[in-house]
């Protein structure tokens, strides 16, 4: 905690740059739609998780459980809303 060099932050930053580059492969190389979406989904969610854990210190207090449940719940409802709506309005019309 008290060390001067912010190793955690630097590692986090480096890793998110790497993930951005991986995501960019979707643009610069010629891959199929499915493949591309898979890459984007993986890189985006890992990066988001990285921010929450490394930079936002989500797990550092005794409210850890409330915070994580809150995030997971929001994520669940968000995904239900997005995919549910697409199912209703686009895929099954």
Partner 1 sequence: MKVDNSLPLEYSTEENNLKILGFWIFIGAEIMLFATLFTAYFTLENRTGNGPTGAEIFEITPVLIETILLLTSSFTIGLAIHAMRLNRKKAMMGFFTITLILGTAFLGVEIYEFTHYVHVGAGLQTSAFTAALLTTLGTHGLHVTLGLFWGLFILLQIKKRGLTPETANKSFIFSLYWHFLDIIWIFIFSFIYLKGMM
Partner 2 sequence: MKLKMKWILLTMVITITTVLTACEPLLVLDPKGPQAKTQADDIMLSIWLMLGIVIVVLAILVFVLLKYRASKQPKDYEPPHIEGSPIVEAICIGIPILIVIFLSIISVDSNYKVEATPEGYEDQEPLIIYASSSNWKWHFSYPEENIETVNYLYIPEDRAIEFKLYSYGPITSFWIPQLGGQKYAMSDMVTTLHLAADQPGEFMGRNANFSGAGFAENTFEVTAMTPVEFEEWVEEVHETASPLTSEKFEELLEPGHLGRSTYTGTHLEFSPAPEHDHGSTDNNVEEDSDIEDHETHDEEDHSNH
Partner 3 sequence: MDFFDRFAVPHPSFLIYAAMVGIGLTMLAVVVGITYFKKWGYLWREWITTVDHKRIGIMYLLTALLMLFRGGVDAIMMRYQLAMPENTFLDSQHYNEVFTTHGVVMILFMAMPFIIFFFNFLVPLQIGARDVAFPRLNALSFWLFFMGMGLFNLSFIIGGSPDAGWTSYFPLAGNEFSTSVGTNYYMIAIQIAGIGTLMTGINFITTILKMRAPGMTLMKMPMFTWSAFIANVIIVFAFPVLTVLLAMGTMDRLFGTNFFTTDNGGMDMLWANLFWVWGHPEVYILILPAFGLYSEIIPTFARRNLYGYKSMVASMVVISILSFVVWAHHFFTMGQGPLTNSIFSITTMAIAIPTGVKIFNWLFTLWKGKIQFTTPMLYSILFIPLFTLGGVTGVMLAMSAADYQYHNTMFLVAHFHNVIIPGVVYAMLAGMTFYWPKIFGFMLNEKLGKWTAWLLTVGFVLAFIPMYITGLDGQARRMYTYSESTGFSLLNMVSFIGAAIMAIAFALLVYNIYYSIRYSPRNIGSDPWDARSLEWSTHTPVPEYNFAITPQVASTQAFWDSKKNGHELFKGDIEKIHMPNNSGLPFIMSCMFFVFGFAMVFSIWPVVIVSLIGILACLVYRSFEQDHGRYISVEEIKETETRLRGAKNEGR
Binding site residues, partner 1, CB under 8 A: 1-2, 4, 6, 9, 12-13, 16-17, 20, 23-24, 26-27, 31, 33, 36-37, 40-41, 43-44, 47-48, 51-52, 54-58, 61, 63, 66-67, 70-71, 73-75, 77-79, 81-82, 85-86, 89-90
Is residue 50 within 8 A of residue 16, CB to CB? The reply is yes
The interface partner of residue 47, options being partner 1, partner 3, partner 2, none and the CB cut-off 5 to 8 Å by kind, is partner 1
* Site for partner 2, residues 73 to 92, rule: CB under 8 A: 83, 86, 90-91
| Distance in angstroms (rounded) separating the CA atoms of residues 62 and 68 | 11
| Distance in angstroms (rounded) separating the CA atoms of residues 79 and 41 | 12
For 8-39, the DSSP string reads: HHHHHHHHHHHHHHHHHHHHHS---HHHHHHH
Identity of the residue, 41 or 56, whose beta carbon is nearer to partner 2 in the bound complex:
41
| Distance in angstroms (rounded) separating the CA atoms of residues 39 and 24 | 10
Where does this chain bind partner 2 (CB under 8 A)?
Answer: 32-34, 37, 83, 86, 90-91, 93
């Amino acid at each position: 905690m008290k060390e001067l060099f912010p190793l955690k932050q630097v590692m986090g930053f480096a890793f998110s740059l790497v993930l951005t580059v991986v995501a960019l492969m979707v643009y610069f190389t010629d891959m199929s739609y499915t493949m591309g979406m898979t890459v984007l989904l993986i890189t985006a969610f890992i990066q988001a998780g990285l921010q929450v854990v490394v930079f936002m210190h989500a797990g550092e207090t005794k409210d850890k459980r409330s915070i994580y449940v809150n995030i997971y719940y929001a994520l669940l409802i968000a995904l239900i809303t997005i995919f549910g709506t697409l199912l209703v309005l686009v895929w099954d019309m």
